[in-house]
Structure 1
């Protein structure tokens, strides 16, 4: 059962190299793909310096659209999604996300930060279903309708589908893993604005 790791990325030139290097260190992964979602920085350029696949979308379609585009191009039956702004990603995290699916116990896993940064740990304890660190069988992902319209609501759509259709899901604790907050990447004003837009897109998915 092969594994494709997909990294949806929008203007993540500062961290994309570290994420790719961590994934290249994982023998469980057969294919790595970065989906640059209309990035205006060097995200795609940096990704192309590594022996991986790079899918460059000319327009920003949102996280859900980027993930779907990646899955459509993937060559394997298990999909691993990781965010492009993670801090501290290691082989042990990847192995923990993949093991329940490869062992046949689950069709989807959801990673929850633990013992990382207080802010990101707290956010995921409150709403673990929003985690972007997941593994899922490709055939399950492809059954979910209209993912290209979900943008940041993609994780809500995945969790809702799994709950509604009885998809076996296993929660996985990811120790010492966190991510860069939007305010740190883009400054307080723009970061706060982007965070509010993200929450709005998530709420739209919750209401739909």
Structure 2
């Protein structure tokens, strides 16, 4: 990801997980438009199969699908090298909070992300989920993650 950001030359960055099911051009347009039109600084998807808690809270703080102004991350690219594998999203959330970036959450009702168990098998999938959680906790403590979600909720634009 660090190399991709480094090589990007446009004014905006679009991140999309490669294994999504049901994704279409309308979904991408819905994710891109709030940022390109200037009504928000970053948009984050909320997929149909995101955890129920994220739907209840109204934000998937570890979603891999985001569109943002490149200027949001450009000055901080040197920090990417030291992140744990699944620490990128919470790092990016910290940048959004520090910059008071306006966040738009885009509901993707028709899009799902296959579980790790589906992709890897039950045991390997569960171990991979634990590894992801471990990476999150290496970047932020559980209490810091709760505070991060709360702060992000305050930065959400109310147009969605």
If the length of structure 2 is used for normalisation, what is the TM-score? 0.78
- Greater strand fraction, Structure 1 or Structure 2: 1
Question: How many residue pairs end up in the alignment?
Answer: 138
Q: Distance in 1 between matches of 2:32 and 2:98?
A: 22
One of 139, 145, 168 as aligned partner of 2:71: 139
- Extract structure 1 runs of 4+ deviating beyond 4 A: none
- Greater helix fraction, Structure 1 or Structure 2: 2
Give ranges in structure 2 of 5+ residues lacking alignment: 145-160
Q: Distance in 1 between matches of 2:25 and 2:79?
A: 32
* 1:1-208 equivalences in 2 (<5 Å): 67-113=1-47, 116-117=48-49, 120-122=50-52, 124-125=54-55, 128-144=60-76, 146-150=79-83, 151-207=85-141
Q: Indicate the SS of the match to 2:14.
A: strand
Contact kept in structure 2, 1:107 and 1:136, CA below 8 Å? yes
Contact kept in structure 2, 1:121 and 1:178, CA below 8 Å? no
If the length of structure 1 is used for normalisation, what is the TM-score? 0.61
**CA RMSD after TM alignment:** 1.8
Alpha-carbon distance, 1:104 to partner: 0.9
Q: Indicate the SS of the match to 1:179.
A: coil
Give ranges in structure 1 of 5+ residues lacking alignment: 1-66
Q: Distance in 1 between matches of 2:24 and 2:138?
A: 33
Alpha-carbon distance, 1:165 to partner: 1.8
